[in-house]
Chains A and B, each alone.
Chain A
Amino acid sequence: MTTILEVSKLSFRYASERVLRGISFQIAEGESVGLAGANGSGKSTLLWCIAGLLHGDGVVRLFGGQPAKDCRKKIGMVFQNPEDQLFMPALAQDLALPLVNSGMRPKDAQAVARQWLDRFELARYSDLPATHLSLGQRKRAAVALAMVRSPQFLIMDEPTAELDGRAVRRLSTMLNRLALTKLIASHHLDFLRATTSRVILLREGEIRAQGPAPEILNDTALLEESGLI
């Protein structure tokens, strides 16, 4: 199976604080991998390094050896706060923007954007700004935005943060319908159970464990030691 992501001996520090230490793992095409860890364990920093937004020591290669900055079109990313992604006067324009950026005609881009909003059950909000939506709807809109350029690899940073139970279930159902490689950082264990097949557990910037999702997520002692329960 093709390797989509290869991370080898990745370390990163903010000033004097070492946030990631010697992280190594791979993700194969079509896999849905969870990145679990307590607050401050380095999940977001690792995702930013993978997306090429931060540069640490070590190797991060995507799609058979390319650095992230050379294959941004193939990567979709959902940030923790949807307000960082959605800022246009209408939701359809937010989704059309990346397509227009890559050279598509605005009217065609709007049509594609509306199709994606429909897939995420947001069609009736197409002409409203994101500020008029609930947080759950904004999170779904952020996923739709990440998907609009048909990426091959989806990176998500705490997609369930501040969501209620129903919104979490709805999001996980929609994510499971997306057939692409996913890396989902979260400390919401039920959400990881529902959406991932393999879990990498981070603790203080190091990989504490990795393996099949049920095995890792049912190991109470391991989760307690890692500050997740």
Chain B
Amino acid sequence: MALPFAAPVLLFALVLFALRWLNGAVDIRLPLRTVAVFLCSTAAFRVLPWPDLIAEIDARSHWRLPVMFLLFVRHFAIVLVGEVRRAFQARSLCVAANFRRGGFQSLAWATASVFRRAIERAERFYAAQTIGGIEE
């Protein structure tokens, strides 16, 4: 079954909300901002001629920061989709039925594993870009 394209980001926003709620605060700004950034980036990527734009932008351009930011968001959305797909495929191979014994527990563990993997991937991506001189 194909994963709806926004599902991982919505799940991510939902878990962000849940974590804040568990911490005693009802705060929807961060999850809403996450979804808004995703939707704006998606729209921007569909409309603008990115490959040409990126090839022309030099290190001093005012456009460089937003362009790089959108590229990072795009890359991380792809990473997140891949990690969600892998985690939930692995879960579906282990769980006989979603709503029987163990279904919810495995869902919680699969969701948690997506976060752990996403953090690891983000850390490695940041390290790779640091070595590549992104901070210069």
Are B51 and A97 in contact, with the CB atoms below 8 A? no
A226 within 8 A of B: no
Distance to closest chain B CB from A114 (angstroms)? 12
B3 within 8 A of A: no
Residues of A with C-beta under 8 A to B57: 100, 106
Of the listed stretches B23-31, B98-106, B107-115, B124-132, chain A binds B124-132
Distance to closest chain A CB from B36 (angstroms)? 22
Are B133 and A149 in contact, with the CB atoms below 8 A? yes
Distance to closest chain A CB from B134 (angstroms)? 6
Residues of A with C-beta under 8 A to B55: 93, 96, 106-107, 110
Q: On chain A, which size bracket covers the interface?
A: 20 to 34
Are A98 and B133 in contact, with the CB atoms below 8 A? yes
A88 within 8 A of B: yes
A145 within 8 A of B: yes
Are B75 and A87 in contact, with the CB atoms below 8 A? yes
Proximity bits, B27-45, A CB within 8 Å = 1, else 0? 0000000000000000000
Cβ contact of A79, chosen from B72, B74, B128, cutoff 8 A: B128
A84 within 8 A of B: yes
CA of A102 to CA of B50 in the docked complex: distance in angstroms? Answer: 21
Are A83 and B54 in contact, with the CB atoms below 8 A? no
Residues of A with C-beta under 8 A to B85: none
State whether A84 and B131 are in contact (beta carbons under 8 Å apart), knowing that A93-B51, A110-B55 are contacts in the complex.
no
Residues of B with C-beta under 8 A to A85: 128, 132
Are B71 and A88 in contact, with the CB atoms below 8 A? yes
Cβ contact of A98, chosen from B58, B71, B79, B132, cutoff 8 A: B132
Residues of A with C-beta under 8 A to B50: 89
Residues of B with C-beta under 8 A to A100: 57-59
When C-beta atoms are compared, the residue in chain A nearest to B125 turns out to be: A84
Are A102 and B136 in contact, with the CB atoms below 8 A? yes
State whether A145 and B132 are in contact (beta carbons under 8 Å apart), knowing that A79-B127, A83-B79, A88-B54 are contacts in the complex.
yes
Residues of B with C-beta under 8 A to A72: 130-131, 133
When C-beta atoms are compared, the residue in chain A nearest to B124 turns out to be: A84
Question: B residues touching A (Cβ–Cβ < 8 Å)?
Answer: 50-51, 54-59, 71-72, 74-75, 79, 121, 124-125, 127-128, 130-134, 136
Nearest 4 CB-CB pairings of A with B: A87-B75, A101-B133, A84-B124, A98-B132
